[in-house]
Structure 1
């Protein structure tokens, strides 16, 4: 788990906040406080307050890495399903996904969720939640690799 967090932090901070050539470390406490920076974007959707700090945006705009926070609430994935493929690593709070089939997946601090583009259901947080994210906006072209992960 520590390795996963380290890899997520390195991936999130490597290009740094101002396109630095060298890797830059971002601690979890820095990530939790990052929303006070002027570049952080705050929005509200149907009463749910969110904050987003994009650390890396690829030149083609297809890969995003950052830190996101939201108050409790849920969002529908959209009429065509979730619009991107995303990995989320929870720092604080709890994410909750409910698939169109009724399957519930929750992740709290130190846990992660991967959502594939096209997934249908609702996603959100049961309390104020902050997480690292890595998102890919490319459509899925090949089937996902079968992971050797035990069933829960």
Structure 2
């Protein structure tokens, strides 16, 4: 069943060159002056899909009340969870940050990712 005014198909042919228009503030920057931006491709009351990028630096991240799956399109970074788990991000890497995740991003080369966020019921 389709929702009123919801497109039947959402597509973008080149996520690497898609213009990112919405600046995004970063929490707890500890190194550098990272700048983030994104372009939302689809959103409803539960799900958001888009492309996000960030320039080099180190900053905190968290996922509270939502989970996120990400696919790295470009860049070089390390994510370290508060429990010490690390993941090296390179093009082609996919990963999930579940509801409640907290950690740090250390970006060496600007990262661009495709993301899907889904909200959890409060």
Q: Note whether the superposition's TM-score is higher than 0.5.
A: yes
Cα distance, 1:95 vs. partner?
Answer: 3.9
Change (3 A) 1:93 1:100: same
- What's the TM-score once normalised by structure 2's chain length? 0.76
The C-alpha deviation readout for 1:69-118, integer Å capped at 9, x for no partner, is: 100123223xxx52231011011103421122222112211111111111
Asked if 1:109 is matched to 2:95, the reply is: no
Work out the CA distance in 2 between the residues paired with 1:21 and 1:63. 14
Any gaps of 5 or more consecutive residues in structure 1?
A: 1-18, 141-152
Change (3 A) 1:111 1:23: same
Change (3 A) 1:24 1:136: closer
Change (3 A) 1:75 1:52: same
Cα distance, 1:134 vs. partner?
Answer: 0.2
Equivalent residue pairs, number? 112
Higher helix residue share: 1
Work out the CA distance in 2 between the residues paired with 1:89 and 1:111. 6
Work out the CA distance in 2 between the residues paired with 1:102 and 1:89. 21
**Equivalent residues in 2 for 1:3-152, closer than 5 Å:** 21-27=7-13, 30-35=14-19, 40-45=21-26, 46=29, 47-58=33-44, 60=45, 62-77=46-61, 81-83=62-64, 84-138=66-120
Change (3 A) 1:95 1:117: farther
The C-alpha deviation readout for 1:3-39, integer Å capped at 9, x for no partner, is: xxxxxxxxxxxxxxxx773425423xx2122226xxx
The C-alpha deviation readout for 1:42-78, integer Å capped at 9, x for no partner, is: 24544211111000111x2x3110000100123223x
Q: Any conservation in 1 of the 2:10–2:41 contact (CA below 8 Å)?
A: no
Q: Any conservation in 1 of the 2:80–2:104 contact (CA below 8 Å)?
A: yes
Any gaps of 5 or more consecutive residues in structure 2?
A: none
